[in-house]
Amino acid sequence: MPARFRLTLAQLAPTTGAIGDNCARARAAWQEARAAGADLVALPEAFVTGYQTQDLVMRPQFWRDAMAAVETLARDCAGGPALGIGAPHHDGAQLCNAYYILEGGHIRHVVKKHHLPNETVFDEKRQFTPAPLQAPYRIGPLTIGTPICEDAWHADVAAHLARAGAEILLVPNGSPYYRDKMADRWSIMGARAAETGRALIYLNMVGGQDDQVFDGASFVIEPDGTRPVQLPQFDEAIRHVDLVERTEGWRAEAQPPAALPDEWAADYRAMVQSVRDYFAKTGFTRALLGLSGGVDSALVATIAADALGPENVRCVMLPSEYTSQSSLDDARQMAENLGCRLDTLPISGPRAAVSELLAPLFAGLEADITEENIQSRLRGLLLMALSNKFGEMLLTTGNKSEVAVGYATIYGDMAGGYNPLKDLYKTRVFETCRWRNTHHDPAWMRAPSGAIIPARIIEKPPSAELREDQKDEDSLPPYEVLDAILEGLIDREASVGELVAEGFDRATVKRVEHLVFISEYKRFQSAPGTRLTKRSFWLDRRYPIVNRWRDES
């Protein structure tokens, strides 16, 4: 009779810094695995501490607390399956990103990460020491090799483990979402399985942490590229995987796969999940935002309502004399469709008072963007007053196009604690609104279904309404052109010359480039927001604020 091995995959969401709570979740998963007759229960990379910890993990008392918690967890999980869990390891000289194997009340084996990522949002070379290539370990009838996350993206670690006798590869991950990442994971992990002839188990965490969303979607992939096991994306899951020793090696018994979302659903889910977890993990339960009657604030209100429930979202309309009746009507309709509270605070009076106060200093000067920005800053002041008084986190509503070129008022509409649209270009904002109007999943969307964002909001020309008959295109290229240029400059790091060769007007490209560079100081002070691409603003793209270089290609 062929040998069998039951592996329990715990695709769960840790909270960064909540060491005790994370270990309690691991203990509960271990108990469930023990009841299911598992031989090993595996949790993701860095689960004890949460991920990413950034420089927090370098604090000696922090890693001491984490290591002590692992020792306690080993004692608590003595009479049952082995347990694999990620945590830091310090040997008295060096700090490593490690994966602990706990069995029989003791730390049986420690695997240390060899390749440390130092790209996009990762900076592990700053925080950890790279370890030499590690040995596999044996549990019952099975010898297991564990490349930790980045280690599996390089061929050498898996090849070394296979040569050392590993019969399967178990890869614990802290892998954050970006658009279309699943194809990259399947391709790279499939290559490791094919190269070694071993089945590979890819285990990823879920949950939001600051700007990043860990999206799970754990899977098993065989050397021939088949995937007998596929866990859901974004949702927590505990799944028992039965491995059987066959002539060709250990293989996983097939299970019905979870359906994965397309890119529009995945982006939207990432924005909802990031808001939900950012609030939960920072202790907030209620949100507020300025609802202008425009498309950006309509989408943010919908995301917030889906994340927190409409009853926990306050929308505030702050009209001035430049606010159109259609914007007032659209904001009211939007709030009614969502079932959110709507308060109206006209700013004409406060604006007049500020203008009167400044009049002696501004005497003889023409009105300009200064007066426009006063309106935005008054709105920010009032919204932050509501936030302080009622304990509601203010969400900002600027999309990636606006954030890129600085089409936003610092200390005004940029004020707030989180921005779900920060990595979503304006053209995708429109399409995401249309997508949400025709899609609804009650399993994770808490707002009503149906066409909740009125068509007029999506179709009308965008305007900040800070002066008479203002339109965004008075100051910016059409968004279809702007976004295409920004995608080149930011996402592809294309040169000006390359974009001109692609057919864009050189003067327009240079103007956009100028706006991107001079707006760096605004982005440096902006709220965190959901990461959707590999070139999001913050950790993915780190540019100096003071920069005199310009691309003259």
Structure tokens of 539?
Answer: 């950790």
On whether the CB atoms of residues 380 and 415 are closer than 8 A, the answer is yes
| Sequence-ordered list of residues with C-beta below 8 angstroms from that of 343, at least 6 positions apart, any chain | 314, 315, 316, 317, 386
Handedness of CA 176, 181, 182, 184 (dihedral sign): negative
How far does CA 70 lie from the centroid of its chain?
27
Backbone φ and ψ for 472, nearest 5 degrees, come out as -55, -35
User: What is the longest distance spanned by two Cα atoms in the chain?
Assistant: 95
User: What is the torsion angle, in degrees rounded to the nearest 10, for the CA atoms of residue 50, residue 52, residue 53 and residue 54?
Assistant: 170
Assign 388 to helix, strand or coil.
Answer: helix
From start to end of 396-460, where are the E strands?
Answer: none
Active site residues: 45, 113, 149
Distance CA 102, CA 70 (A): 8
> Taking the CA of residue 294 as centre, how many other CA atoms within 13 Å lie in the half-sphere pointing to its CB?
20
Q: Is the alpha carbon torsion for 306, 236, 211, 50 positive or negative? A: positive
Cβ count near 225 (within 10 Å): 13
DSSP H stretches of helix in 94-242: 124-127, 155-163, 181-196
- Do residues 38 and 81 make contact, with C-beta atoms less than 8 angstroms apart? yes
DSSP state of 546: S
Cβ pair 266, 177 in contact under 8 A: yes
Strand partners, 321: none
User: Residue 192 is which amino acid?
Assistant: R
Residues for the chain: how many in total? 553
